[in-house]
Structure 1
Amino acid sequence: MLNIQPQFIKQIAPTLSLQQYNEIPMIVLDHPVGQAIISLQGAHLLSWQPKHTAQNVLWLSEVEPFKLGTAIRGGVPVCYPWFGGKSSPSHGYARISMWQLSDYQITEDNATLAFSLFSDDDLIEAKITMTFSDSCELNFKHYGVENAEVALHSYFNIADINPISVEGLPTSCFNSLTQQPEQVPSPRQVAENIDCIYAISNNATHHIVDPIYQRNIEISHKNASNTVFWNPWHKATSGMSEEGYKTMVCVETARIDKPLSQSDQVSVIIKVA
């Protein structure tokens, strides 16, 4: 998992603590339902391992240095208020901004943590609420007056890229590498650099079938307009080792085609069977 020894800072609740990983403060959940780690830089879920799984559900780069002001490679980055390189920094400023743990509720059966992003004049811009039980639900809400894009850029941990397949994707997408629409197979496997944006229904569900780990990761998108499917294959990628692409695949929950208006929300629910 995280390749840096943490420094304990503060106990927040019996199952919740504040710890420091190199330059970045993290919220660490150690609960009977499972374990999770969230970076306060970016409100970035780095790790989630429910109690019934032998492996982490999320992938995190083994060479990640955890530097302030540098986006973390892996987990579930929050790309907001824009997606891609249309402005600077790429994928928006939210993932390199400090968020606040603004609320939490912990019971025997689940834990809910809320993280808020404030502007320089202390006005709320966005909130992401994370609920951990036998599933993981991330709910993002946009508070700004101007429309915004968002992607919950989920990196999933897999045993090996070659035999996995992703079920439920449409058969047409926009290929970001060629900048052209194209027809693609479904289910879909990875044997090359893939960076595709799919238009989806509001409540689409996709499955990552991993025969080596013998598990099925179910990804249910709520109020989303797009799924982004990405694996860099052999392409050199910042923050990732040469072999990193072999154990990860991104199936993202996004609002790109239909940007968020004020108070709009988008969610993803992740389950493992």
Structure 2
Amino acid sequence: MNLAQLNQDYGLAGQVKILEGTGGWPYLEVANTQATALISLYGGQVLAFKPRNASRDLLFVSDNAYYQVGKAIKGGTPICWPWFGPDPQGLGRPNHGFARNRLWEIKRTEALPSGATQVVLGFGDAEDTRELWPYAFALEIEITVGNTLALALVSRNLSDRPFDITQALHTYFTVGDITQTTVLGLDGTTYIDKVDGGTVKPQSGPLAIAAEVDRIYQNVPAELVIEDKALNRQIRITSTGNQTAVVWNPWLDVSAKSGDLTDDAYQHFVCVETTNAADDVVTVPAQGEFRLAVTYAIAA
């Protein structure tokens, strides 16, 4: 991609600059009066977000993250689409679909009256996607950088038949110390425990993490909160369009075996994912669309 042309078409004076980043891909550097952010066109994901009044970044990115074609970037806000988890049809297709492993396009950038900046990225079906998933579609991610970080994943069905999707905004949040971190708002829900063979269990009280956690929570409320005592902050997660949420931390053994995580990475992040997962399957009608949205706010 021609960076000069991208800056001419989509750069915003004082707010958005397109530059070459790690891996040689274009990145959008956003800086306004409210916050700064870094957005990768590869994967269509946010890699950094920091409000002007925050002491630490909202997002975690692994020091060992891969920046290679065909590999997902470990951190930020990866997008799982059009399926979450293993190939639902068992055809050997990639885990979590193909959206996080491809180069997206800039659709538009806009300076909003509120002082925030909106960036819209997207891509549509092509020969390589139709080999994996035989539908005509347009997928967009709306990224709004302001005092909060807002994401909206919009799936448009351009075909003459409905299709089913599962999906996730698989966000990695920076925490000071995982042993001093809890997730609030899940009390009274049930979850599918993927570490324990998919057993369904009840959640009682706040979720504290002291071992590997990989859970699909069902019938979740619209707001969840990460209580990060080590950094003396809360991260408020407000979502629409989902009935499920995933909480994941790999803990020591998985971190040590993962090439794109350092051995101690698990101590410094938790994933609280806004999802349509498990039985929370979305049917997008022919010529219709579906919107999965979330807003992240940092509070002391």
Same fold (TM over 0.5): yes
1:225 is displaced (CA, Å) by: 1.4
Report SS of the residue matched to 1:177.
helix
1:196 aligns with 2:212: no
Contact 1:99 1:118 in 2 (8 A): no
**Which residue of 174, 181, 185 corresponds with 2:192?**
174
1:27 is displaced (CA, Å) by: 1.4
Per the alignment, residue 207 of structure 1 pairs with: 225
The residue identity in structure 2 corresponding to 1:47 is: A
Q: Which runs of at least 4 in structure 1 moved beyond 6 Å after TM superposition?
A: none
CA–CA distance in 2 between the matches of 1:243 and 1:142? 36
1:113 aligns with 2:141: no
1:124 is displaced (CA, Å) by: 4.3
Contact 2:186 2:203 in 1 (8 A): no
Which string of whole-angstrom CA distances, capped at 9 and with x for unpartnered residues, describes residues 161-202 of structure 1?
01111110144210012211112332011100000000124x
CA–CA distance in 1 between the matches of 2:283 and 2:103? 23
Report SS of the residue matched to 1:114.
strand
Bigger share in helix:
2
Per the alignment, residue 133 of structure 1 pairs with: 146
Contact 2:66 2:72 in 1 (8 A): no
* Mapping of residues 192-271 of structure 1, within 5 Å: 192-201=211-220, 204-234=222-252, 235=254, 236-256=257-277, 257-262=279-284, 263-271=289-297
- Identical residues among aligned pairs (%): 25
Which string of whole-angstrom CA distances, capped at 9 and with x for unpartnered residues, describes residues 52-103 of structure 1?
1010000000122422221000001000000111252111100001111101
The residue identity in structure 1 corresponding to 2:99 is: A
* Mapping of residues 44-193 of structure 1, within 5 Å: 44-86=45-87, 87-107=92-112, 109-120=115-126, 124-144=137-157, 145-171=162-188, 172-178=190-196, 179-193=198-212
> Which structure has the bigger radius of gyration?
2
CA–CA distance in 1 between the matches of 2:153 and 2:187? 24
Which string of whole-angstrom CA distances, capped at 9 and with x for unpartnered residues, describes residues 92-149 of structure 1?
1000011111011114611111111211169642111011211111011111341111
CA–CA distance in 2 between the matches of 1:105 and 1:260? 30
TM-score with structure 1 length normalisation? Answer: 0.91
Which 5+ residue runs of structure 1 have no aligned equivalent?
1-7
Which 5+ residue runs of structure 2 have no aligned equivalent?
130-135
CA–CA distance in 1 between the matches of 2:66 and 2:156? 31
1:16 aligns with 2:16: yes
Number of positions where the alignment pairs a residue of Structure 1 with one of Structure 2: 265
1:238 is displaced (CA, Å) by: 3.8
**Cα-Cα RMSD:** 1.8
Bigger share in strand:
1
TM-score with structure 2 length normalisation? Answer: 0.84
